[in-house]
Structure 1
Amino acid sequence: MKLLTSLSSFAALAITCHAFVSPSSALQKRDVCADGIVTSTSTIAVGDKIVDVSTVNCPASIKSRFASKRESSVTVNVCDAMCSNSCNSDSGNQAPSQSDCGTIVNAIEIMSGSGTMDSTFNVEPDDMMQLTYNTCRFFFENMSGNTLEYCWDALSDMASAAVTECFPSTQTLYSEGLCQASSGMWAVGAAHA
């Protein structure tokens, strides 16, 4: 009987620990930055179209809400890091226009081909870099305690893959395509603006 009581106590402890460290899918939604504060902004002209480039501080991000922020002066390059794709409707009821997303791809090509910008950009902890045109938004969100370095061409490639996978031209069901690092420390994707 004592063995049964001990096993029951151990099982209850294991379930409690699992619930504490297991992330809830509800917490993984990108709307965690809905109350973000724009800290910098610029624009890129693509013909007669203007793409907004902004950095947003996400004070309500998963990391700052549920874990203590590590102070670090280390910049970690995640350009070649792997991530897992998923599609969801966390950005509303409509998919972005593929044409609008194509304008953002063109803006990234202009920026990286101009010779005036680095091929990478840095995103501070709890910040998000985003490019927005009309209905489409490409983003890279840093949910880690370190400054992350990401490549413009990787942003274009990963967000474009999300557009292709999650927003087909017929019967689109999703408003966001997301590629999240297995560590949960960053995400890149495309969404309805």
Structure 2
Amino acid sequence: MASFFSLFLTVLLLGITSSAVSGRCTDVQSSTTDYVPVDNAVVEIVTETCSLASLVALDVASPVDVSGEPCSITCSRNGSDLPPIGEDCDKIKEAVEILSGKGNIRYTFTLGPGESKTLTCRTCVYFFRNTAETPLKSSWGDINIDASLARSDCYPPTMPMNSVGNCTAIDKTWVVGTYHS
């Protein structure tokens, strides 16, 4: 009951929840969008929800906690030759710090198979995608750590310049990344 109240309060305080169909997951039923204001910017958080079959699996299976697990960095160019603007990524970092317990959202989150969370501020996107066949639990702080590692390895002053930085789990069950929107 307390977690339901927290979720209700979060949606009420952070913004509007909207249903939309997205192409990231092959069986997306809907997505929710929340907003976190950070100084003069707004960070958009999108959570994609997969089909009912995936949601039933989420209810039955206990999520695997991947918080603090190591990952491998890869850099690439995808769609844009430019990296995101550093200040935009810094706003996402600040929003994630709010989500890590300084605000009204719980420190951890759970994603079912194929689900993802995407945080966007202007030119910068951070994401966490569950590529496993089971639900995964992770922490907001890990998104900051892993995306920051990808940023430092893939974006200037590192050369060559890239527009995508991914931090992929050693067992390939999840990926945290950042890219130019």
Contact 2:25–2:115 at 8 Å: present in 1 too? Answer: no
Once the 2 structures are TM-superposed, how far is the Cα of residue 36 of structure 1 from its aligned partner? 8.3
Tell me how far apart the structure 1 counterparts of residues 27 and 162 of structure 2 sit (CA, whole Å).
23
**TM-score normalised by L of structure 2:** 0.75
Question: Which residue of structure 2 aligns with residue 39 of structure 1?
Answer: 31
Q: In 2 relative to 1, CA 88–36 (structure 1 residues): closer, same or farther, beyond 3 Å?
A: farther
Contact 1:58–1:128 at 8 Å: present in 2 too? Answer: no
Q: Which of 90, 94, 107 lines up with 1:106 in the alignment?
A: 94
| Number of residue-to-residue matches in the alignment | 152
Question: Which residue of structure 2 aligns with residue 155 of structure 1?
Answer: 143
The answer to whether residue 62 in structure 2 is matched with residue 50 in structure 1 is no
Tell me how far apart the structure 2 counterparts of residues 126 and 57 of structure 1 sit (CA, whole Å).
8
The DSSP-based 3-state class of the residue aligned with 2:44 is: strand
RMSD over equivalenced CA pairs, Å: 2.5
Contact 1:50–1:133 at 8 Å: present in 2 too? Answer: yes
Contact 1:95–1:172 at 8 Å: present in 2 too? Answer: no
Counterpart of 1:128, as a letter, is: S
Q: In 2 relative to 1, CA 91–156 (structure 1 residues): closer, same or farther, beyond 3 Å?
A: farther
Counterpart of 1:82, as a letter, is: P
Tell me how far apart the structure 2 counterparts of residues 130 and 58 of structure 1 sit (CA, whole Å).
15
Which 4+ runs in 1 deviate beyond 6 A?
none
Tell me how far apart the structure 2 counterparts of residues 156 and 183 of structure 1 sit (CA, whole Å).
20
Structure 1: which 5+ runs fail to align? Answer: 1-31, 60-70
Q: In 2 relative to 1, CA 58–182 (structure 1 residues): closer, same or farther, beyond 3 Å?
A: farther
Once the 2 structures are TM-superposed, how far is the Cα of residue 118 of structure 1 from its aligned partner? 1.2
